[in-house]
Amino acid sequence: MILFPDMHTASLSAKSLASDGQFLYLYTSRGLFKIGSGYGGTIKGHVYLHKTDFHVDDKGWLGYANGLLYYKSSSKKGCELLIIDKESFRVSEVVNLEGKDWGACVMFSDGENLGMITSAKDDGFVVRMVNPSSSPVVSVSELPLKLARKCLDVFGSASFDEDANIHTIHTGCDEEIVFIAAGKDFGFARTNSGKILYCGKSSSLGIKQGGLRSGKWAELPVIKSPKVVHFAIGHEGLHTVLLAEDGTVFFAGTARRGEDGDQNKGRRQPKPVKPKKMIKVDGLNIVHAACNNGTTALVSKEGELLMFGKDTAHCDNSTGLVTDLKDVRVTQVSLGKAHAVALTNKGHVYTFGINNKGQCGRDFAAQIKEVPMVVAMETTGEEEADNEDLDWEDAQEAMCPPGKHKWRHDLCMVCTVCRECTGYSISCLSSMRPDRNPGQECGCGEGDSGCAECGCCRICARENVDNSELAILGPSGAGDLAGMMRLDLIFGGRHGARLQDHLQRRLDERKQRQRGRLASGSSKHCGLKMKGVNNRAGPSTVAVVTTKPVPSVFRPPPAIPAAQSIIVEEQAGSSDVERDASRVTSLPPSRVHLPVESPVMQISCGLHHTVLLLQSGEVMTFGSNTYGQLGVGDLVPRGGPTLVKLACHAIHVAAGSNHTIVLSNKGEVYTFGSYQKGQLGRPSPAVGHESPVTSNKKEARLSRDGPWYAYPGPVPNIGPRHGRRATWVGASGDQTYLKIDESLINSLSLTRSTVMANKSSIVLLPTQNDHASSFKCLTINKRDGNCSSFSGSDQVDFSNTATCLDPLYNVLWSYHPGTHDMMCYNVVASESRAAEFLPPSILSPELALPVVTSCFVTRSQAALHLLSCLDTLTQAQDQRFTIREESEDRQAGCGKVYSREDFSAVTRFESHGGGWGYSGHSIEAIRFMADTDILLGGFGLFGGRGEYTGKIKLFDIGVDGGEQETDGEMLAETEEVPYECGPRQKYPMLFEEPVPLQANRWYVAWARVSGPSSDCGSSGQGMVTTEDQVVFYFKSSKKSNNGTDVNAGQIPQLLYRVVTPENQTPNRQTDHSEPVYILSREFSRAVSRVSYNKVMV
């Protein structure tokens, strides 16, 4: 408690606090006080100086830097700093801040320099450090800050995560999660350092050692621990592929249909495997990957697309290369349940696979519900790479007027408009020949020769119905093929499959040309598709819009048989023939033409729908729409790219099994599609309020009847207005993932907080109750701007107090006006263990030394501190205190799950013995020591003659354990584990976590085995040097009561890893600090009376 002079202090309110290492300077409503801290020989709580008229009616900031005490008024908007004389509290000098008005900033000091935090755009801040000794004072450095907490939220359910409500994923790892996805039984997350964490069913990944509790994450063991830059898991998938930094591919999970690239497996039950290298693509540099349940797709650095597994109908059987895409450079790939989408470096999209629900986007023309006056006919000109096609206007001008054609029957010709056979259209087998030119003979024989004047066919002249699509069903479906070239002349008796594939390819190309021409035409062109009852699809028409809009009408083409009534197609894929063909036909790779010019930037696939993100910020979808996953306001599927109406600029998209997520450039998230498992993250609107968010009143009126989940809707409480900006979205199955930057503080709350700093960190403490509920302390790394918040129940609440950091002793001071108590907090003391036998602490003001260099202290102060340290060290050795470098929670939270392959083995026997029997109380034990720091994973135990049950323990008996064995301290143990192994083999029994062992320290390996007699070792060695040049020493142990010793017995192996910087610390950038040296017992015991006398002199 502070001993204030005789004055009424009940109404005293604290405004600011500063420290120079010896004295505390308290600025209050009753003036400025100079108070002793107890450090540096001062009297704790004593008031040395008081100035009653020091700006009592004002508010301001008080700080200490470079030996000077500064004051800045908050009421004045000028850029003035007052230098206060510490002995008289008079203003000795006035300094000006150069540049902007710093009136709205928050000041702080780190003991040497002054700093100020000012607001920036998008809830950001800028930290400016200034040199107070310069004149005028100018900024010397700037650090942009984003005072936000990064979190990863998930909603929707999975088999391993049944919580469908929005909740935050806690991996227990300090590193930031940059990507997350999930399969059927497990989830994966990748950190910014390239580690892979997993949760869920570990046995589905081939990890047999133990299992993870629900919601717990652990590091995935990968051979040689490469840095993983990407991974892929399919919706409800059973496997995953990992891409290392060097382009190597690892496969984990279950391979049922060759998705691991191994096609030589026998007919045996597939088993999950741990991450293994995909030998099939060894030597290739793979940069992108995608998966579905049964298929793996890989993209090489050269732009080649390779696929393995079930969806490989268009791939080379030996290499997996998608041959039809070898002429384009693929950059991304995404897989649905049975279709694939590839994106090229030019922003073009290619699709292939099953198209039964329009998910390939290549099956149907655009559907028009309200069409102006229609005066046009079908355009079917072939689209070549050199763009030498005739435009529709050119074709219309070149053709004869309706009714003026001169038809003739002779040799079939090549139509000048559609460039197909005038007699048999795309069903003609001569269409495979490359030397066919418009207006010349087709080469297939006799038939309809088309118009003798313009050269068009009857289909282009709208005087015949296009039945050619039936040809893909086989020769019988095409009608009478007599008069055409014999099939075996071309196909050599193997015409069935090749003919059908050829006809399907020609049909796809024809539809692509029609849609491409419709999409790339001017705004006065639009498409209307017709089809007959007995046809797979009827002729498409091109509508020319007049200036006067009229109701939608359709003029049926002439010369159509009465039996073939024409209907308007209402739904993509509604023809029975079309559905039957699409079920059995896998479309070959072909480009999907978009109705806009903007290139595609990102692709994503659900089970049966596809999502495209354009460079312009627009989003297009196509495919199944049963759950409203296309976001177009209805449940009708779309067979071609359809624009999603969004009131934002999209920057990222993701597709779940049956839902879609869109991220806007403002950090807002829009979702639509299946909602039954909570994957949309938003509730259903109230009855009568189901209209979507649109900027057009007409659109809102027309869309009232649509289901709410079929429209893009914002996820609540996410966006700049809520201080929570989404930075990334993802989806797997029925789950949605959001990476969110949650603002910890804004400009208003910043002004209501106290800011302080030292050499490495900036500390922000809320001082008012209205903001204290968010966090109680926020620390900012001055080097990189990373921040961490603390709000636990064990955290001190500094609201309604005046606080500061001490520049010399690195302690935090806090003054409580209600009790007039000055509290001192030391971060080192919070980690110390209570020891009642060691009063007072060496951290107390009377014994502590400054933590900064070039600071003078008295000789007696230094001597007392040294003696206190020796006494503390001696007592700690007697109490057998150990150095705990890292908290147990932190080790277990992000601990790597090790397997037998991760450890080396040291074998202490040179040969095998006859056998080793066991009783109910037999114990095997051996003492050992290593000359290098190691991680001990467990022991190898003998078996070989049946089933056994084993349990192992590890004891620490200290550095003197080689001379005299004590009971020691148990460091680790396992449960009873059943095991069996082959003759003369060793079973690796591992601890739950590897145990760090110090060099030149003795330990006891303890084991209890029950079961039949087992193998044993003989010709044991007292010293073994491993391949890692680690020397192990072995001695017999008194804990052994079954005969195991150095010469013979059990425990033939120790499983270990050499401690390296890679496995000792996390692979992330850390702050450099002074080294910590562990002092041995001999250091404190070597002090003699002579030493004390020399210190006291």
- Compute the distance between CA of residue 117 and CA of residue 591 in angstroms, rounded to an integer: 53
Tell me what pLDDT residue 490 has: 41
Tell me if 813 sits within 8 A of 796, measured CB to CB. Answer: no
Tell me what pLDDT residue 532 has: 34
pLDDT digits (tens, 9 = 90+) for 747-775: 777 777 888 988 888 888 887 765 445 67
Angle made by CA atoms 511, 512, 518, in degrees to the nearest 5: 90
> Comparing 655 with 149, which gets the higher pLDDT?
655
- Compute the distance between CA of residue 523 and CA of residue 545 in angstroms, rounded to an integer: 9
Tell me what pLDDT residue 792 has: 74
Tell me what pLDDT residue 365 has: 42
> Comparing 1029 with 482, which gets the higher pLDDT?
1029
Tell me what pLDDT residue 154 has: 92
Position 651, amino acid? I
pLDDT digits (tens, 9 = 90+) for 60-82: 889 998 889 999 887 766 567 88
> Comparing 818 with 957, which gets the higher pLDDT?
957
pLDDT beyond 80 at 84 = yes
Tell me what pLDDT residue 385 has: 36
Least confidently predicted of 116-120, 297-301, 525-529, 712-716: 525-529
pLDDT beyond 50 at 556 = no
Tell me what pLDDT residue 447 has: 86
Q: Tokens in use for 36?
A: 């002793």
CATH class of the structural domain 895-1062: mainly beta
Tell me what pLDDT residue 121 has: 67
Quote the mean pLDDT of the chain: 77
pLDDT beyond 60 at 1051 = yes
Question: Collapsing DSSP states into helix, strand and coil, what is residue 873?
Answer: helix
Mean pLDDT over 348-365 rounds to 85
Quick one: pLDDT band at residue 610, thresholds 50, 70, 90?
very high
Tell me what pLDDT residue 1081 has: 65
Quick one: pLDDT band at residue 502, thresholds 50, 70, 90?
low
Tell me what pLDDT residue 870 has: 79
What does DSSP assign to residue 111? Answer: B
Count CA within 13 A, CB hemisphere, residue 1055: 20
Q: Give CB contacts under 8 A, 24+ apart, made by 868-875.
A: 868/842, 869/842, 870/1084, 870/1087, 871/838, 872/838, 872/842, 873/1079, 873/1083, 873/1084, 874/1084, 874/1085, 875/835, 875/837, 875/838
| Residue-range domain boundaries for the chain | 14-146+746-825, 149-327, 392-568, 597-722, 895-1062
Count of helices and strands (H, E) across the chain: 12, 64
pLDDT digits (tens, 9 = 90+) for 820-872: 888 888 877 776 665 555 555 777 888 888 888 778 888 888 888 888 887 77
Instruction: Annotate 841-871 with b (16+ C-beta within 10 A) or e (fewer).
Output: bbeebebbbbbeeeeeeeeebeebebbbebe
pLDDT beyond 70 at 371 = no
- Compute the distance between CA of residue 265 and CA of residue 334 in angstroms, rounded to an integer: 26
> Comparing 745 with 52, which gets the higher pLDDT?
52
Q: Give the domain 149-327 fold.
A: Methylamine Dehydrogenase; Chain H (2.130.10)
pLDDT beyond 90 at 731 = yes
Tell me what pLDDT residue 459 has: 84
SS percent in the chain: helix, strand, coil, step 5? 15, 35, 50
Q: 14-146+746-825 in CATH: which number?
A: 2.120.10
Quick one: pLDDT band at residue 899, thresholds 50, 70, 90?
confident
Among the listed residues 801, 658, 665, the one whose alpha carbon sits nearest the alpha carbon of residue 728: 665
Q: Which residues contact 773 (CB under 8 A, 6 or more apart)?
A: none
| Cα–chain center distance at 270 | 29
Tell me what pLDDT residue 103 has: 53
pLDDT digits (tens, 9 = 90+) for 96-152: 766 555 556 788 898 888 888 887 766 678 888 887 777 666 667 777 776 777 889
What does DSSP assign to residue 900? Answer: G
Tell me what pLDDT residue 1075 has: 57
Q: What are the C-alpha distances in Å from 1010 to residues 920, 942, 943?
A: 7, 11, 10
- Compute the distance between CA of residue 752 and CA of residue 666 in angstroms, rounded to an integer: 27
pLDDT above 90 as % of the chain: 33
Mean pLDDT over 902-931 rounds to 91
What are the two backbone dihedrals, phi and then psi, of residue 377, each rounded to the nearest 5 degrees? -150, 180
Other beta carbons within 10 angstroms of residue 157's beta carbon come to 18
Tell me if 677 sits within 8 A of 656, measured CB to CB. Answer: no
Least confidently predicted of 398-412, 479-493, 609-623: 479-493
Tell me what pLDDT residue 531 has: 34
Quick one: pLDDT band at residue 234, thresholds 50, 70, 90?
very high
Tell me what pLDDT residue 284 has: 92
Is pTM beyond 0.75? Reply is: no
